[in-house]
Structure 1
């Protein structure tokens, strides 16, 4: 929706533009050069006075790029979009096969893919969807793995492989760009909920614009080092408040926000005794319950759409993890495509 300030600016601009031009046309009809010079001057003046009320060029490009038609596989997807959001995680898993005989492959059931227009995106489709946008992913190692999946989709294999060592520098931030499409990808190391709250309350408020896509996630470090589900829930409440108060200085829609859920933890595979003691099924269920009950998710009136890594990791199974916590790229590829298809659906709803 256009803000009241923008509407007032447009009305004022019309008055400033058309009244003088009409008068100029009446009095200067015999001098076309003088008339068009005056019209040009008035137009430039209107542009200067109206520009503060208009979105920046990158945001205009983003609004144009979030368009479902190039990647939608069904003409009925727009009508079905609202009912399709809860179905995004209904993927099936099967052995990938091939010469190696290892790995798992995921897919949406054909009937669901057809009805909702869900599709695995190509590099060109993903680049078109995210054209001109700023994607920020903040959290722990799970968030880092999602960024890797995104880079593998947007970049050619050699460039993605070259970026991986820099991305996985311990406890560090990372930034990548896709210059041809004007896409920026930021990873922010933020393993605790307080880090996320500070990012939303302080860092992004000082930025000249907010991210167009914002993915946050936490819980593993809290579970290991604090081991208190109630305190985790209290910290999540602060994240929710900060996310709801996040506003762009420009009259543009708020970011598309996603919450990266906790993965299935395979206790006997965890690689330290401390993890085996603190990161068990009981604690995982308690932490997941806090996510459900703290008003974090869109279905409860919160700002975030859940990317359910837990459900996807359970579907892929124990064979998809080497350490009981971090899963193979297939899981995060599924997470990524669920997010991208959700962006298409959300964009249809905002039109």
Structure 2
């Protein structure tokens, strides 16, 4: 599709080059000038009358909005971390850090926002949020609740949330948000969760999920991981309460939405083998294996950038930018990495729902 700028350039090219081409066919000078003038007037009148024809105006506006939306979504991970050591305690370094979106012109034009507690609460008011996955997903939940709760409330939540390999449920009464964390370390667990949603005909407003680290450690077979991802993709597409939108080769036009939840994939972080805390992890969770698993994720067409239904929360990119100084075990990163991921998700929700705070 063409945006407004592209349409303008095309029109200018028509006005300029068509008369020149006709002149090349030995038309008289007067005929060429007449045709050029008529063409210019027709295009000018068309541009001025467009606002009075809602279907045309709506089409042009929707194209521009869609292009701007997709462009800004693609820039959400353009983040810069500012990290410095504050103190050393035994063998650990206490870090102080912050993050921000880059100052590049395209990013600035998107007007991304770090949402405060009040704005985040307004955005998530009355929502059912489900986060499913492994320890990365659990850390994501900690950051999300840390944004909508105060520090005292988080102290009471943290002990319950970090019970080993367990689910967690909470209702934030102040904003009517229901949040469920589902311990799902394997992709097959996520597929079963999708089937449960579909069977109950009850869908969350926001769904975030991701798995891979456990499979890499305990199964260590990227091809098997790829198969499970493709099964998950098929399950997600059938789970969506809309007519089929995603074909085998990407999006299919013409679907009519009934109620589509916002779905995100929490990616795997960069793994620093030398810092992993067991020999088994250092042997199996190496760079080559990580790369194989990442390729299978792309091939599965689960993510939107490869023609799938899920918007990526690229923890790889964020953890790589923050660097090895932001992790103590080569796998789980400092809170600012997951905090940045939370704000990427929130801004994606604003963009997808055409809202602005």
Do both proteins adopt the same fold according to a TM-score greater than 0.5, normalized to the shorter chain? yes
Separation of aligned partners in 2, 1:243 and 1:227 = 24
Aligned partner of 1:221 among 205, 214, 226: 214
1:247 CA displacement: 3.8
RMSD: 2.2
1:87 aligns with 2:87: no
Which one scores higher on RCO, CA 8 angstroms, separation ≥ 6? 1
Structure 2: distance between partners of 1:286 and 1:99: 37
C-alpha separation between the residues in 1 aligned to 2:205 and 2:171?
14
**How big is each residue's C-alpha offset from its partner over 1:98-148, in whole Å with a ceiling of 9 and x where there is no partner?**
799833321002345530020110001001111110010000000000000
Contact 2:72-2:107 at 8 Å conserved across structures: no
Equivalent in 169, 174, 178 of residue 180 of structure 1: 174
Q: Identify the residue that residue 168 of structure 1 maps to in structure 2.
A: 162
Given the alignment of the two structures, is residue 116 of structure 1 paired with residue 122 of structure 2, yes or no?
Answer: no
Give the Cα separation in 1 of the matches to 2:86 and 2:184.
38
Structure with bigger strand share is 2
Q: How far 1:180 moved relative to its partner?
A: 1.7
Q: TM-score w.r.t. structure 1 length?
A: 0.73
Distance 1:99 1:325 in 2: 22
The more displaced of 81-90 and 306-315 is 81-90
What aligned pairs does 1:76-155 form with structure 2 within 5 A after superposition?
80-95=68-83, 102-110=95-103, 111-155=105-149
Q: Which runs of 5+ in 1 are unaligned?
A: 1-75
Output the CA distance in 1 between the equivalents of 2:101 and 2:84: 15
Within a 5 Å distance, the mapping from 1:41-80 to structure 2 comes to 80=68
Change (3 A) 1:344 1:290: same
1:333 is the counterpart of 2:321:
no
CA contact (8 A) 1:80 1:115 kept: no
From the superposition, tell whether residues 87 and 113 of structure 1 become closer, same or farther in structure 2 (CA, over 3 Å).
closer
Q: How many residues align?
A: 272
Dislocated runs of 4+, deviation >6 Å: 76-79, 97-101
Q: Quick one: distance in 1 between partners of 2:127 and 2:298?
A: 30
Give ranges in structure 2 of 5+ residues lacking alignment.
Answer: 1-63, 89-93, 243-256
Pick from 272, 293, 297 the counterpart of residue 266 of structure 1.
272
Given the superposition, is the C-alpha separation of residues 265 and 248 from structure 1 closer, same or farther in structure 2, using an over 3 Å criterion?
Answer: same
Tell me what 2:197 maps to: 204
Instruction: Return closer, same or farther for 1:118/1:222 CA change in 2, 3 Å cut-off.
Output: same
3-state SS of 1:216 partner: strand
